[in-house]
Structure 1
Amino acid sequence: MMSLLSPHPQPIHTPRAHDTAAPPRRGPTLPAHRPHLTPDPHAFNTAPADEAERALLSCCRSPRWARRVAAHRPYPDLPALLAAADEAAYDLAPADLAEALAGESLTLLPDGAYSAAQTALSAAHAAYESRFGHVFVICLDDVAPDEAADRVLAGIRSRWNNDPEDERVAAAEELRRLARGRLTRLLGGYAAATDGIAPQSPGSERPSRPYVPH
């Protein structure tokens, strides 16, 4: 049986100062007879519960969230799965949210890339974590990689003055959006694999993890 667990997303690439303009980003080459692939949750629906929960934990690091989404299978289509994921995310208790935040990985700039920006982001992240007690999370699915550093720094600054409760709500919303993007890429990978196309990793088109430096 095909494993539900997909490769880890790749770190965000921020161009080095000497880089030339990046070529246009392209998706996978699809067969001429099928120009679009529809994500199909069949493999997810039929997987053993423990495997489904492990796959879900790669999208949101809350065991309660993963158990709830897995328990409501089968899903007729991706929108139904995303709706269930949203509902489970909205219902996370503070302890569940803290667990999900604690499980988020940190994605770093490549060595030597925009060292001034990395220094600023490191300082901003350290200050944010000291203030709120958890890492800064932000969904960058709609952000080009070369704009990610600026977007993260702007996000930290804009949320800095939140009181802890408001920031908890903001972080929960970012985690919900991250989970949606990760689930979409996960299911898209299954659809590509069943068509004989090498699936892309979840972060190959847009970063799916929060961009936060040490």
Structure 2
Amino acid sequence: MTAHPTPHPQPTRTRGPQDLATHRRGPTLPSHRIPHLPGQVAFPEQSRTAPGPMALEGFNTAPATDAEQALLTCCRSLRWAHRVAEHRPYPDLEALLAAADEASYDLTPADIAEALAAESLTPLPAGAYSAAHTALSAAHAAYESRFGHVFVICLDDIPAAEALDRVLTGIRSRLTNDPEEERLLTAEELRRLARGRLRRIVGDFSSQPVP
């Protein structure tokens, strides 16, 4: 009779800190692809007071490369940023915002795709229930599966306490759109996001020395 070797027990793998962190983390939103942009999904920053003339003067006189880099934090379309920067100086904030709107209305499908590729999701605030993470992650996944890009919505005028409901409602409502309808809505949300962000970045120039 042939003797069969006794099988050796497989060693038990000890969980390390990374395993424990993964085990405890639970459902999360996708990681950021670019630095945080104020006003994007899901919770906008508090609006600042509208910048005054000196803030606009700082934007008007900044080097073109600095102005374009700042504008790219509002809308990640290179053509949009170049066009808005090229038409400086602006006599007042409303003229600047009008120029930004006009540039937004002229975005081509390729420009919109470029801008959307740089948008990212903002995580829920600390302490949010895991059910909220799960619901929002599932809604975003369904949206991206249907339209092929991240969901964007401007929440600048929405109280933080209502933001999650507004995002979920918006995604579920827009999932019923056909691609062309959604492209138009997405372009409008990008315009509104760019407008709100532009108000804030022009304000940032007020703390910079004027050349």
TM-score (norm 2): 0.73
1:91 aligns with 2:106: yes
1:134 aligns with 2:149: yes
1:123 aligns with 2:125: no
Q: Say if 1:172 and 1:115 are closer, same or farther in 2 by CA, change over 3 A.
A: same
- The separation in 2 between residues aligned to 1:11 and 1:165, in whole angstroms, is 22
- The separation in 2 between residues aligned to 1:67 and 1:185, in whole angstroms, is 18
Q: Tell me if structure 1 keeps the 8 A contact 2:41–2:121.
A: no
- How many residues are aligned here? 172
Q: Say if 1:117 and 1:126 are closer, same or farther in 2 by CA, change over 3 A.
A: same
Q: Tell me if structure 2 keeps the 8 A contact 1:11–1:107.
A: yes
Q: Tell me if structure 2 keeps the 8 A contact 1:53–1:67.
A: yes
Paired residues for 1:1-214 under 5 Å: 9=38, 38=52, 40-191=55-206, 193=207
Indicate the SS of the match to 1:97: helix
Once the two structures are aligned, what percentage of the paired residues are identical?
Answer: 69
Q: Say if 1:143 and 1:58 are closer, same or farther in 2 by CA, change over 3 A.
A: same
Match of 1:20 in 2: none
- The separation in 2 between residues aligned to 1:11 and 1:169, in whole angstroms, is 18
What's the RMSD between the two structures over aligned residues?
2.7
Structure number with greater Rg is 2
Code of the residue aligned with 1:183 in structure 2: it is L
- The separation in 2 between residues aligned to 1:166 and 1:144, in whole angstroms, is 27
Indicate the SS of the match to 1:162: coil
The offset of 1:189, in angstroms, is 3.1
Code of the residue aligned with 1:77 in structure 2: it is D
Higher helix share: 2
Instruction: Output one character per residue of 1:84-124: Cα deviation in whole Å (capped at 9) or x when no partner.
Output: 00000000000000000011121011354122121111001
Q: Say if 1:26 and 1:41 are closer, same or farther in 2 by CA, change over 3 A.
A: closer
- The separation in 1 between residues aligned to 2:163 and 2:102, in whole angstroms, is 28
- The separation in 2 between residues aligned to 1:88 and 1:9, in whole angstroms, is 20
Q: Say if 1:74 and 1:9 are closer, same or farther in 2 by CA, change over 3 A.
A: same
Segments of structure 1 that go 5 or more residues without pairing to the other structure are 1-6, 15-24, 29-35, 195-214
